[in-house]
Amino acid sequence: MEFLSNLVNGISLGSVYAVIALGYTMVYGIARMLNFAHGDIIMVGGYICFIVMTSLGLPSIVGILAAVVVCTILGITIERVAYKPLRSAPSLAVLITAIGVSYLLQNLALLIWGSDPKSFTSVVSMEPLRLFDGSLVITGETIVTIVVSAIIMAALTLFVNRTKVGHAMLAVSEDKGAAQLMGINVNATISLTFAIGSALAAVAGVLLCSAQPSLLPTTGAMPGIKAFVAAVFGGIGSIPGAMIGGVLLGIIEILSKYYISSQISDAIVFAVLIVVLLVRPAGILGKQIREKV
C-alpha cells in the first residue's frame, strides 16, 4: 500500500515534470536551443497566481488564467527580444543569453517579491481520496495534477498531429528552410511554440506550488533542470518522449527518496539518466541521426 501511495505521488510529480519538459522539448525541436529560462517561467506563473489569489483575493480560476496569460506574453516577449536576433548565432551564444534571461527573471522576482518564501494557497479544494478503508490516501492536489497533466498531454498531441498549425510546427522542426519555401511563417510558428511552452510552464507552476506551497524566486530552477533532464531522458525534441521521461523521472525520484535515501535521491535520478543515455545515446524515443559523409 505504501508502495502504491509512493507510486501515485511519483506519477503526480512526474506529470508536472512532463508538462514542463514538453515546453523544453518543443522549443528545442523547433528552435534548436536549450531554453534555460524555461524553469523561471514556472516561478513567474506561481507568483502571478499567488498575487491574484492572495493579494487581490480573486478566485483561483482567475489566478490560473492570469498566470497563463502573463507567462504566454512573457515567453513571446523573451523570444522576440533575446532569442530572435540570435537565430543564426552559434548555439552556445543562445544558451548564454538564455542563462542571462534566467538570471534576469530570478532577480526581478527577488526585487519585486523579496527573498522570503510566500506560502502559496493551493488552488485545489478537492477532498483527499481514501481507498482501501483509508490505508491509501491520495490528496486532491495529486489527483488534479495527474488529471490536468493528462488532459494537457492529450490535447497537445492532438494539436500537433491533427491541426494545420501543428503540422507547421512539425515541418519547421524538421527543416526550417524547406518549411519557409512551403509558405509556412517560420517566425510566427516559433513564437507560437514559445507561447505554448510558456503557458504550459504557467500551469506547471501553479500545480507545483499547490503541491509544495512555498514560493521563492528560485522555485523554478530545480524543477526546470529536472524537466530538462526528463526531456533528454525521453529523447529531446520528441513530444511523447518528454511525457514518458517526465513521468519516469518523477517515479524514480519519489521511490528513491522513500526507499533509499532522501539526501541522494537527486543523485540517483541523474545516475539513471546517465545509464539510459549510455545504453540509448539519443534518449528513450530519440532518433539517432547518422552523419552523412
Binding site for another protein (CB under 8 A): 28, 34, 82, 85-86, 88-90, 92-93, 95-97, 99-101, 103-104, 107-108, 110-111, 225, 228-229, 232, 236, 261, 263-264, 266-267, 270-271, 273-274, 277-278, 281-283, 291, 293
Please, what is the minimum distance in Å from the beta carbon of residue 113 to another protein?
12
Q: Nearer Cβ to another protein, position 89 or 165?
A: 89
Q: Which residues contact 239 (CB under 8 A, 6 or more apart)?
A: 22, 25, 26, 156, 157, 160
Please, what is the minimum distance in Å from the beta carbon of residue 104 to another protein?
4
Please, what is the minimum distance in Å from the beta carbon of residue 76 to another protein?
17
Q: Nearer Cβ to another protein, position 29 or 46?
A: 29
3-state DSSP of 110-143: HHHHCCCCEECCCCCCCCCEEECCCCEEECHHHH
Please, what is the minimum distance in Å from the beta carbon of residue 15 to another protein?
21
Please, what is the minimum distance in Å from the beta carbon of residue 14 to another protein?
18
The answer to whether the CB of 15 falls within 8 A of the CB of 147 is no
Q: Nearer Cβ to another protein, position 88 or 125?
A: 88
Q: Nearer Cβ to another protein, position 25 or 193?
A: 25
Cell numbers 535521491 correspond to what residue?
265
Q: Nearer Cβ to another protein, position 110 or 126?
A: 110
Q: Is 42 left (phi over 0), alpha (psi -120 to 50) or beta?
A: alpha
Q: Which residues contact 148 (CB under 8 A, 6 or more apart)?
A: 15, 203, 207
Q: Which residues contact 66 (CB under 8 A, 6 or more apart)?
A: 48, 49, 52
Q: Nearer Cβ to another protein, position 69 or 110?
A: 110
Please, what is the minimum distance in Å from the beta carbon of residue 208 to another protein?
19
